[in-house]
Amino acid sequence: MKITGIEMRRIAMPLVAPFRTSFGTETARDVLLVRVVTPDSEGWGECAAMSEPLYSSEYADGAAEALRRFLIPALPARVDAFGTGRALAPFKGHRMAKAALETAVLDAQLRSSGQSFASFLGAAAERVPCGVSVGIMDSIPELLDAVEGYLSEGYVRIKLKIQPGWDLAPVRAVRERFGPDVPLQVDANAAYTLTDAPHLAKLDAFDLLLIEQPLANDDMVQHAALARRITTPVCLDESIESAEHAAAAITLGACSIINVKPARVGGYLEARRIHDLARAHGVAVWCGGMLETGIGRAANVALAALPGFTLPGDTSASRRYFATDITPPFELRDGHLNVPAGPGIGVDPVQDILDEVTTSTEWITR
């Protein structure tokens, strides 16, 4: 496929409510979108990097710079998604930037051939069950109201962000209010250390599906030690940046579940490799989220339909984060999202909405 040009576009997307995690509070997303233009199609990729390097080392401005100076120039004149991965491999890190570019190339390629992301990736379902991620709140009553609202919308799983000082109480309150049967999990975003093991073991009483990334992203051995000291299954997110990391984590017993985020691992091709590897080892995976717009959300929902994605993901409806999405909104129906069936990611930005939220565009001719 010949690439005639690539656009980098920044958009400002206010969140419907602040989203607080152990590493900070988001009130808006400053999103970097990549559009690849070819003679007979165009493709979109969303860079999930936050404004600041707080979730990982990447951030939106840095991703734009890496794309502009190194990644886009490295692409051959004619390339497909697999060739993109090979061309970008020599550059270290910048996986979210790489993912955005590779996804845009893949989207253009699939739109041109008429194949959907779901079909290309190997989806086994036409809709996926959806969980929701609930941030740290100012009070337990506020948290319970939020959880009640999400449950009434139909979400099939609740994930609570936790941190030291906000962990046992919110989990206990949700269990006491909504009962033992609501699928419930927690995400610490690396807020604890192995010395907290006795405290984290107290979560075992609440029959959680998993505890996500309790320790630092490079604490692979410590996660294995923690997993031997608690009964709640350990799920890794930030620690798994590649299929090699997934293989190491499984071998070490650092996790028994993996949160697969294509953005974190460099794209959907690597995400599928991790899915395949985990499935071969009987390790469940689920699709994580980075507060994507409908562009990234569409591709994530397709990935979440693969057979090894046996746990509900953070593939929530557009309205979980945005009053107005830049694509036709993803809407929860009976706790599920439909998998886009059209060519490529199967959704298109609504141009006048996109233009309204655009803060900058940059065209790079090939």
Ligand X SMILES: CSCC[C@@H](NC(=O)CCC(=O)O)C(=O)O
Which residue from 38, 84, 189, 327 is in contact with ligand X, where contact means CB under 6 A?
Answer: 189
Q: Report the candidate in 181, 170, 167, 182 with the shortest Cα–Cα distance to residue 144.
A: 170
Stretch in the footprint of ligand X (CB under 6 A) among 19-27, 70-78, 95-103, 194-202: 19-27
Q: Report the candidate in 128, 157, 125, 118 with the shortest Cα–Cα distance to residue 336.
A: 128
Instruction: With residue 285 as reference, give the H or E element that holds it.
Output: strand 284-287
Q: Which option in ligand X, Mg ion, none does residue 55 bind, with CB closer than 5 to 8 A by kind?
A: ligand X
Ramachandran angles phi, psi of 263, nearest 5°: -60, -40
Tokens of 84: 């993109």
In the shown chain, the binding pattern of residues 216 to 245 toward ligand X, with x for contact by CB under 6 A and - for none, equals: ---------------------x--------
159 annotated active-site: no
161 annotated active-site: yes
345: Cα separation from own chain's centroid? 15
In the shown chain, the binding pattern of residues 124 to 163 toward ligand X, with x for contact by CB under 6 A and - for none, equals: ---------x------------------------------
Cβ neighbours of 305 (radius 10 Å): 24
Q: If binding is defined by CB under 6 A, does position 270 make contact with ligand X?
A: no
Stretch in the footprint of ligand X (CB under 6 A) among 58-66, 76-84, 271-279, 289-297: 289-297
Stretch in the footprint of ligand X (CB under 6 A) among 2-10, 58-66, 144-152, 288-296: 288-296
Q: What is the DSSP string of 69-83?
A: IIIHHHS-SB--HHH
Cβ neighbours of 270 (radius 10 Å): 23
In the shown chain, the binding pattern of residues 174 to 193 toward Mg ion, with x for contact by CB under 5 A and - for none, equals: -------------x------
d(CA 341, CA 338) in angstroms, rounded, equals 9
Q: If binding is defined by CB under 6 A, does position 290 make contact with ligand X?
A: yes
- CA dihedral defined by 116, 117, 118, 120, rounded to 10 degrees? 90
Distance in Å, CB of 182 to ligand X, minimum:
17
d(CA 328, CA 322) in angstroms, rounded, equals 12
Per the CB < 8 A criterion, the answer to whether 233 and 282 are in contact is no
d(CA 22, CA 9) in angstroms, rounded, equals 29
- Residue with smaller CB distance to Mg ion, 46 or 237: 237
Q: Which residue is nearest to ligand X (CB)?
A: 289
- Residues 220-239, interacting with Mg ion (CB under 5 A): 237
Q: If binding is defined by CB under 6 A, does position 296 make contact with ligand X?
A: no
Write out the residues near ligand X by the rule CB under 6 A: 19, 21, 26, 55, 133, 187, 189, 237, 288-291, 314, 316
Write out the residues near Mg ion by the rule CB under 5 A: 187, 212, 237
Report the catalytic residues.
161, 261
